[in-house]
Amino acid sequence: MEYTQRLLARQKDTGRPVRVGLVGAGQMGSGFIVQIARLPGVHMTAVADVAVDRAIAALGNAGIHDVVKNDDIDALSEAIARGEHVVVDDALTLPKLPLDLIIECSGVPEVAAAVAFSSLLAGKHVALMTVEADVTVGLVLASIAAQTGSIYTVCRGDEPVECLKLVEYVRDIGLELVCAGKGKNNPLNPEATPTMLAEEAKAKGMNPRMLCSFVDGTKTMIEMAALANAADLQLSTRSMNGPASTVPTLHETFIPIEDGGVLGGVGVVDYATGPVAPGVFVTAKANDPVVQAELSYLKLGAGPYFSFYRPYHLASIEAILTIGEIIIDGQRSLAPVAWNADVTARAKRDLGVGDRIDGIGGEHVYGDAVSSVTAAAGKELPIGLTYGATLVREVKKGTPLTYDDVQLDETKTIVILRRLQDRLLADGVLGSKV
């Protein structure tokens, strides 16, 4: 039975729809609000945004106009009980309200980490659109969720989650997984800055920082690290290979070097440049001659390597699938099961003492995917912690930043959680799969 029918059946059984709260009414959040409002059996109950008028406008775009604006928790809870819609300016208000699920769309790692942590402690399911937080503190959040009985997940619709579905499919039909990845459609330029890209961003109607995070490779590194940790795969190599490929040649490119490909091993993640974006892919090997012959007969190629490809990902349009996966199936869409990969910060230019780093998509650093073992050994700084960090030592262009190079704001939730995660990993407490 499809989720729409099952969510309606749940509403009939419980006497009310699923109550959803959402953080962040920007471009991604406003699209998500429209989708949630159209989903039977689900109520777009609460929206938090620092600009309350933006939250009200986003609800209005979804045809919701009976909006309650209040700062009192009891008054807000009473409004929710009456079936009304509420808006607040503080994201951490949502975990205090009678909601079933909180979805985070802020795009800010610190906000995402704080919302996820507070939601889990309040016994709420939480789903993130900000995958940057997941590759920074996702393992400890997934562990907390497992202990509390709530669900922590990244939302459907982005490449890591949709690629994970292909990974699961390939494993379930008994093939050997060789490589999982995505297409990258922007030319890679690790030195790109939002200032350099301002004109292009304006023409595309994009935030310059967001475009910069695509062009400088940070977003790709983050997405593939999230996939590696959720699927228990390794990085193909530091920074990955990123070779040019087409869809018909994926099974020739993303295979071991000894068989003519680019990979040093199997069970890895990587990305392709060229006309593979906006899709995701898996390459796999059929080790049984009968299976190989059957796949060849079914026009998947000569074998023994075959590729499986999904030509799209639909962002906030299909993110609502996560609501059904959580509420109906009791399953997460994507969350770390191991900590195989980190995304650490490298300097885009020479950085001096006193420089205040502006984080992902900014002028100072770009993200580099690296094995968690290498990152820990070198004390490399996760890029998700770089917002507002102050340099206490000079760092040369192209050099990884380390914890010793910066002064962090130790009061930030994401910093506290990462310190905890690092300690638990070092002590072996998070060594087993979540």
CATH code (residue 39)? 3.40.50.720
Asked if residue 428 belongs to a domain, the reply is no
Q: What angle do CA 60, 61, 64 make, to 5 degrees?
A: 40
Specify whether 152 is located in the same domain as 28. yes
- How far from chain centre, in Å, is Cα 373? 21
370 shares a domain with 235: no
**Domains in the chain, number:** 3
| Residue 434 belongs to a domain | no
Instruction: Report the CATH number at residue 379.
Output: 3.90.1210.10
Q: 6: exposed, middle or buried (C-beta count within 10 Å: 0-12, 13-18, 19+)?
A: middle
Residues 269, 146 within the same domain:
no
Q: Which of 299, 327, 355 is the last residue of a domain?
A: 327
pLDDT one digit per residue (tens) for the chain, 434 residues: 699 999 999 999 999 999 999 999 998 899 999 999 999 999 999 999 999 999 999 999 999 998 999 889 999 999 999 999 999 999 999 999 999 999 999 999 999 999 999 999 999 999 999 999 999 999 999 999 999 999 999 999 999 999 999 999 999 999 999 999 999 987 899 999 999 999 998 998 889 999 999 999 999 999 999 999 999 999 999 999 999 999 999 999 999 999 999 999 999 999 999 999 999 999 999 999 999 999 999 999 999 999 999 999 999 899 999 999 999 999 999 999 999 999 999 999 999 999 999 999 999 999 999 999 999 999 999 999 999 999 999 999 999 999 999 999 999 999 999 999 999 999 998 865 55
Residue 425 located in a structural domain: no
143 phi and psi, to 5 degrees? -70, -40
155's CB contacts (< 8 A; 6+ apart) are 103, 127, 128, 129, 161, 319, 322, 333
